[in-house]
Structure 1
Amino acid sequence: MPTADSSSSPFDPLVVLELVSDTKEEAVTWLLSRIRDPQQIGGAGLLVEQIGPGVGAEEKDNLNLFLVGASLERLLSGAEDLGLFKEYNDGSMRGFTRSNKHNFKDFKGDGDGFLSMAECQYIVKHELDTLRAKEETHVPGYSHVKLYPGKSINDIRHYYGEGQALYFGFLEYFTFALVPMALFGVPYYLFDWEDYDKYVVFAGFNVVWCTIILELWKRFSASLAYRWGTLSRKKAFEEPRPGFHGVLGFNPVTGREEPLYSNTKRQLCIYLVSLPFVLLCLYLSLYFMMIYFHMEGWVLSMHDQDPTFWTGVLLYIPSIIYAVVIEAINLVYRYAAEFLTEWENHRLESSYQNHLVLKVLVFNFFNCFASLFYIAFVIQDMALLRQSLATLLITSQILNQVMEAFLPYWLQRRRNKKMIRKFQKRRAFGDKELPLADQVRLEADMCTYLGTFDDYLELFLLFGYVSLFSCVYPLAAVLVVLNNITEVYSDAFKMCHVFKRPFADPAANIGVWQLAFETMSVIAVVTNCALIGMSPQVKAYFPDSETQLILWTVTIEHGLLAFKFILTFLIPDVPKHIQIKLAQLEFESLEALKKKGKPLLSQHSGFIAVCAELLCFHLFLGTHTTRLPLWLALLLL
């Protein structure tokens, strides 16, 4: 909804900036001036206006809310600074430049509508994130809040854009990829309901399936990222995290003043505190698992002594309780892992995320799958394995749906109940639209979206249940398909009605989660081969020598792993037509640099042109990777 800045023409608000209600006036004035100041003097060059109290607003509702926007020219310059890729007139994706703006496909007139809402919000959010102190020693009005030149003065969360779109794309792709397994699993399950040992064929199918779908996903995500302009976008120099702290010093790369923290201290924190804590949590998880097996044994003995309907129902109670305990422990551990990773004081956001993901994945994998591995390879009870897998899968899906969608929505409805009543009262008097101030306050009270971490983690665990042990319980794929269908709608619902709208987060792939899923697929190969080796059908071929059975199983497992890695190499990560377009852009960039007469380029211009032409020819012939020519060219240079 257009509004007006006090010193500029009307603008469309893109971001709402909220300060605590008791923020001192001098601090507010200072912050707003830094946001409004031109870039030439260290400001963000943005437009900002304070929101007045809404109709019927109480004193406690009078928060410091500010609408932040930008002029069209400022957005275009931000798009150029960030290197946003847009579609060119020839159909290729190129980095946007204002000097060449009229050659981009959708740039018409003055460019109004050229940038999407997500891109505009990402630009404004980036400018706020990179707003830094100049010569101030402290925040005006708060002498204890120290500042130094170059310190970030905003701490704003990353919100969605291409990153969120890639999550929904992966969720949809994973759901469709499960359909062949579900169609294959239903008749397999129906015809072998009582025979728990006929899983050899399905285990072999699992090995091939989990490898192929991940390789095809990389090609599909590359196509999406190229279409969105994020595949070949150069990653900007990564700034320190807002929460990073240390002794003030000079960055040897940028020459700017910023906190410095000893890497030795960080490593000591990781290996002397974080690692022992994770091991302790794994031990506690193992302890809870043994309690579960004691409960399971007690229930089984009770059922064997007096088999009735109620004792048959009681057989499922330990698994249900254990599934609930697993979810509760995972939730508590998640908060502890976040605290420890924050305490380790990582300089970069990427390093922080990698260490957090590693902590959470190791524990969740052990906590969710240790009991299944124990049943499969120690107890070797396939009937109990099927029952435990089904119970864990169904219970975890129900709990996740409740925790992710229904509970936040219920809390949000209660939180906004008073505001909604006011809105309904005004509608009764003919006011059909919610005033801007009340609309902003209503959305400001919504829950904060914490990113796709938990969503990917849920899909990772579901992928593990399916790829590791679904040969014993073929209906697992059917249950995951049904879960994913409801997940799409519940995630869309909570994004639209429960959480604040996130900012854009440009991404070219699903990041570290791709490696996590590929690691799970390697474990799946080993697990399914071991299950095949334990099957009675295979054991019948080695009645006299268990050693030969183990050797043959290990040999086949190594052969399948080799086949998996060969298949990974043969299937290119990026489709051929996209590789050619990227190579053409690289060649054009080299030609443009050569014409500028750079000293280093002038010495090797002929060689670089030949390398670029050889690279295009190399791609045209259909080879599957571009690493060798680029690596060779850089080595020779």
Structure 2
Amino acid sequence: MEGFGGANLKVLPIPDTAPFTPLVVIELAEDTNEEAIAWLISRIKDKQHHGGAELMVDRLILDQNSKENHNIFIVGASRERLLVGAEDVGLVKEFSDGSMRSFTYANRHNFKNFLGDGDGFLSMVECQFIVKHELDILRARGETHVPGYPKIRLYPGKSIVRRIQSKGILVQIFPLHDKEELKRLSSTWYQNVRLSFQPLDDIRHYFGESLALYFGFLEYFTLAMVPMAFIGIPYYLFDWEDYDKYVLFAVFNLVWSTVFLEMWKRCSASLAYSWGTLSRKKAFEEPRPGFHGVLGINPVTGRQEPVYPYAKRQLRIYLVSVPFVLLCLYLSTCVMMVYFSAENWVLGLHDEEPTFWTSLLLYVPSIIYAVVIEIMNRIYRYVAEFLTNWENHRLESTYQNHLTLKVLVFNFLNCFASLFYIAFVMQDMPLLRQSLATLLITSQILNQFVEAFLPFWLQKRRNKHLHRKSGLASVDQELPFNQQVMLEANMSTYLGTFDDYLELFLLFGYVSLFSCVYPLAALLAVLNNITEVYSDALKMCRVFKRPFSEPAADIGVWQLAFESMSIMAVVTNCALIGMSPQMKSYFPDSETQLILLVVAVEHILLAFKFILTFVIPDIPKHIQIKLARLEFESMEALKKKKMLEAAAIQNKGQ
């Protein structure tokens, strides 16, 4: 079985079963009852028609004197079991005619690249996704509680893994890295610094579609900002005091942001189609592991499961979460006002006695405020997660939507409120330019340090410690399999693309909202994104555990967030241009005429944005045709099946 899915991992011997390729690691709590362990392992190994997952599992062998947790298990599956699982999860693969179709085990030989018995047909990341899915849908049958834990109830038909995870028996589940494949990916991705496109197909093959789409968006965003950066440089160097000359630059920026986002939709649709996720049917969503409530009946499935009153959740949201978020926004505003007080004090000090040191001191309040913003954003993130957990949302998608809304509102106010205040209340354009530059540069440096270099340094120390403990002279030497598993078990867990998209969202705001004041922002963003590609690739390959693949057809709610920001950019840039002294000089006697002109231009630009959105289709024409043809063939096949069934019934009656 070695080599299935491209894996080069060691094959573990299992008593009374065939050897298998290790795919997934299950870590149970160190004090887990042996009766519960035996029950869980038997359920994982049991046949499907008996209610089991029909997977292969064995305990990781560690030194008896080791202080490490000994309740660590390696899970794999036979080739046939994985192929059947591929059909269960709705995996889409390339058919022999070149179209993308849902895989079926019975029709497996008609799929492209299915050679012989199918060895290598599924990638390792697909195999790991299938194993995780089979573990997640392992359901309670007649058990009323977890063996050895009479207080932990089990609900018939509900996921066992999610239940024991929410109760702390299950510590973690994670997929194993493939060292050889990871080395190949690293060499073509981040180890050699060069100007080239990212290997998105290889990233998808190793990490799955969700991460590949993130890196695809990061690359597309970076390339799209290159023209903005080149155009912004001469504006910044030669015309930065004449704001009326920024009208063309601002209009170009607004058109650019619309075209960029619409063209990205087409690009992501092409990628998703080639990866088989564009036409993939969404699976029925299971409740979150942390969801709790009294036992009731699910009206959709008819199964017994915990239920939680909708009204109670709404009360928690509107009587606790919303007021608390508003309080956080108020505190953020107070911090902003303290920053302005410090800024005024420093300006006054410099005006009284201008020296080299006081000129340097002018930047100190902005730098300190930028650091405080980053700290507040991170603290608030934990508060938002706690509140969203406490609201007790049933589905993971609902949980993510509420969390995203909370975090976006706070981060937007925290990062941009001071800039709006300087622009529209103080109307101090030089200070706006200085503050924007300071916030942009400081946040980029802090993000790179906290998100990439610090975790990498800590992980490198852990690696050295483990290699010394194993008696190896160099970190380049390969660890024994059991030590490699322990190394990965102690790695940081990747929490998803949320923070990565949030960082790009704020960067997009800095570039688009105030483009007519600081056109150099696009250049700084390009430089940041280039380093972001390498730092994010480094942490995915060297710092974090390998995440499970998440099928995705687009960037989800973040597309809407970026589009909303681009609409706000129209309003902001039009207002800034209208407030410039040069524009006001054209209307010395009537400020009302200037306001009406600005509003009219704003509406024209918004209309132009929506026309562009309508004109540019989200999915390329050739992909629309392929999807329509596949749907037509499915309908024809269904009609044929019904006709055959009707003919069979008629013949039976005769």
TM-score by length of 1: 0.91
Give CA-to-partner distance per residue, 1:195-232, whole Å, 9 cap, x none. 56642222111111111100000000000000000001
Residue from 457, 460, 471 that aligns with 2:516: 471
Residue 252 of structure 1 is matched in structure 2 by 299
Residue 51 of structure 2 is matched in structure 1 by 42
Contact 2:174 2:545 in 1 (8 A): no
Aligned pairs for 1:49-88 (under 5 A) are 49-54=58-63, 58-88=65-95
Aligned pairs for 1:74-223 (under 5 A) are 74-154=81-161, 155=165, 160-195=207-242, 198-223=245-270
Given the superposition, is the C-alpha separation of residues 432 and 181 from structure 1 closer, same or farther in structure 2, using an over 3 Å criterion? closer
Give CA-to-partner distance per residue, 1:588-619, whole Å, 9 cap, x none. 000000001179999xxxxxxxxxxxxxxxxx
In 2, distance between residues paired with 1:49 and 1:391?
54
Residue 12 of structure 2 is matched in structure 1 by 3
In 2, distance between residues paired with 1:395 and 1:599?
69
Give CA-to-partner distance per residue, 1:210-259, whole Å, 9 cap, x none. 11100000000000000000001000111111111111111111111111
Contact 1:196 1:382 in 2 (8 A): no
Contact 1:11 1:69 in 2 (8 A): yes
Residue 522 of structure 1 is matched in structure 2 by 567
Comparing 400-409 with 432-441, greater Cα deviation is found at 432-441
In 2, distance between residues paired with 1:92 and 1:491?
33
Residue from 480, 483, 500 that aligns with 1:438: 483
Contact 1:200 1:535 in 2 (8 A): no
Comparing 184-193 with 454-463, greater Cα deviation is found at 184-193
In 2, distance between residues paired with 1:285 and 1:314?
23
Residue from 328, 335, 342 that aligns with 1:288: 335
Contact 2:174 2:546 in 1 (8 A): no
- 2:214 alignment partner AA: Y
- 1:87 alignment partner AA: E
CA shift for structure 1 position 557: 0.9
Residue 530 of structure 2 is matched in structure 1 by 485
Residue from 561, 564, 570 that aligns with 2:615: 570
Given the superposition, is the C-alpha separation of residues 44 and 553 from structure 1 closer, same or farther in structure 2, using an over 3 Å criterion? same
Q: Is 1:319 aligned with 2:326? A: no
Residue from 348, 351, 366 that aligns with 2:398: 351
Comparing 524-533 with 337-346, greater Cα deviation is found at 524-533
Residue from 494, 498, 502 that aligns with 2:547: 502
Comparing 260-269 with 133-142, greater Cα deviation is found at 133-142
Contact 2:265 2:619 in 1 (8 A): yes
In 2, distance between residues paired with 1:513 and 1:500?
24
Equivalent position SS for 2:152: strand
CA shift for structure 1 position 192: 2.3
CA shift for structure 1 position 407: 1.5
Q: Is 1:361 aligned with 2:408? A: yes
Equivalent position SS for 2:409: helix
In 2, distance between residues paired with 1:133 and 1:60?
33
In 2, distance between residues paired with 1:414 and 1:183?
41
Contact 2:24 2:174 in 1 (8 A): no
Comparing 483-492 with 405-414, greater Cα deviation is found at 405-414
Residue 637 of structure 2 is matched in structure 1 by 592
In 1, distance between residues paired with 2:231 and 2:319?
49
In 1, distance between residues paired with 2:644 and 2:117?
37
Residue from 268, 280, 284 that aligns with 1:233: 280
Q: Is 1:455 aligned with 2:500? A: yes
Equivalent position SS for 1:86: strand
Equivalent position SS for 1:110: coil
In 1, distance between residues paired with 2:72 and 2:150?
23
Given the superposition, is the C-alpha separation of residues 376 and 601 from structure 1 closer, same or farther in structure 2, using an over 3 Å criterion? farther
Contact 2:339 2:366 in 1 (8 A): yes
Contact 1:247 1:260 in 2 (8 A): yes
CA shift for structure 1 position 64: 1.2
In 1, distance between residues paired with 2:400 and 2:464?
36
Residue 420 of structure 1 is matched in structure 2 by 467
TM-score by length of 2: 0.89
Equivalent position SS for 1:16: strand
Given the superposition, is the C-alpha separation of residues 103 and 301 from structure 1 closer, same or farther in structure 2, using an over 3 Å criterion? same
Residue 224 of structure 1 is matched in structure 2 by 271
Given the superposition, is the C-alpha separation of residues 91 and 413 from structure 1 closer, same or farther in structure 2, using an over 3 Å criterion? same
Equivalent position SS for 2:27: strand
Equivalent position SS for 1:11: coil
Contact 1:249 1:260 in 2 (8 A): yes
In 2, distance between residues paired with 1:433 and 1:528?
56
Given the superposition, is the C-alpha separation of residues 344 and 359 from structure 1 closer, same or farther in structure 2, using an over 3 Å criterion? same
Question: Which structure 2 segments of 5+ residues have no match?
Answer: 1-9, 166-171, 176-206, 648-654
Give CA-to-partner distance per residue, 1:133-189, whole Å, 9 cap, x none. 112121111222221212322246798510011000000110001100001011111
Given the superposition, is the C-alpha separation of residues 378 and 62 from structure 1 closer, same or farther in structure 2, using an over 3 Å criterion? closer
Given the superposition, is the C-alpha separation of residues 432 and 553 from structure 1 closer, same or farther in structure 2, using an over 3 Å criterion? closer
CA shift for structure 1 position 38: 1.2
In 2, distance between residues paired with 1:537 and 1:150?
70
Given the superposition, is the C-alpha separation of residues 600 and 431 from structure 1 closer, same or farther in structure 2, using an over 3 Å criterion? closer
Give CA-to-partner distance per residue, 1:462-508, whole Å, 9 cap, x none. 00000101321111111111111111111111111111111111100
Contact 2:36 2:147 in 1 (8 A): yes
Residue 632 of structure 1 is matched in structure 2 by none
In 2, distance between residues paired with 1:476 and 1:300?
24
Residue 271 of structure 1 is matched in structure 2 by 318
Given the superposition, is the C-alpha separation of residues 598 and 522 from structure 1 closer, same or farther in structure 2, using an over 3 Å criterion? farther
- 1:413 alignment partner AA: K
Comparing 463-472 with 187-196, greater Cα deviation is found at 187-196
Residue from 417, 421, 431 that aligns with 1:370: 417
Equivalent position SS for 1:277: helix
